[in-house]
A and B are shown apart, each in its own frame.
Chain A
Amino acid sequence: DTEVTQTPKHLVMGMTNKKSLKCEQHMGHRAMYWYKQKAKKPPELMFVYSYEKLSINESVPSRFSPECPNSSLLNLHLHALQPEDSALYLCASSPLGLAGGTGELFFGEGSRLTVL
């Protein structure tokens, strides 16, 4: 069983909707991430939140916005998405933050998003 919990597991939304994906980790990790994964492709990093600092992959469009209410929660707000945004959205955490990140990631089960 994963200790990174994501909700919802499945989400279908229209292009004008506003929705949120939620992620919570219970391991005391100091870094949390959002990844996007299309079918038969590797995960692509979207955002990293660590020690109250947000790092953004500059290729991520502004219709995705992360929010970190505290060190164990990381939400992803979705607004005016496009059909090509349909994918598996994976939340992950890692035990080291700042320059100590090692790539040892613990993933949630993912939120499968379909944009109509």
Chain B
Amino acid sequence: GNSVTQMEGPVTLSEEAFLTINCTYTATGYPSLFWYVQYPGEGLQLLLKATKADDKGSNKGFEATYRKETTSFHLEKGSVQVSDSAVYFCALSDPQGGSEKLVFGKGTKLTVNP
């Protein structure tokens, strides 16, 4: 079946460090890929998405590129801030079940220290 595997956290960085959170997927067909962010005490928010191979999603300084050859969608940011501390979830849409049915990774907690 379809699945998403994220690097296990927690990840702790200093402010202005470079961030990479790895995400790989298994899917039949051609899913769309997403990153969501959950700030403490809040619900998730869609951060960025990519709908086809080689697409790059970007938002708030975060980027991720849909790599079909490596089935990956790694999240990157060049210089993190304390306000980026949150839990990040990678997800894919089931290409057969319809885009309503997202499959989520287990989440990676990021802490950025000043």
Q: Does A pair with B?
A: no
State the A residues within 8 Å of B (CB): none
Binding site for A on B (CB under 8 A): none
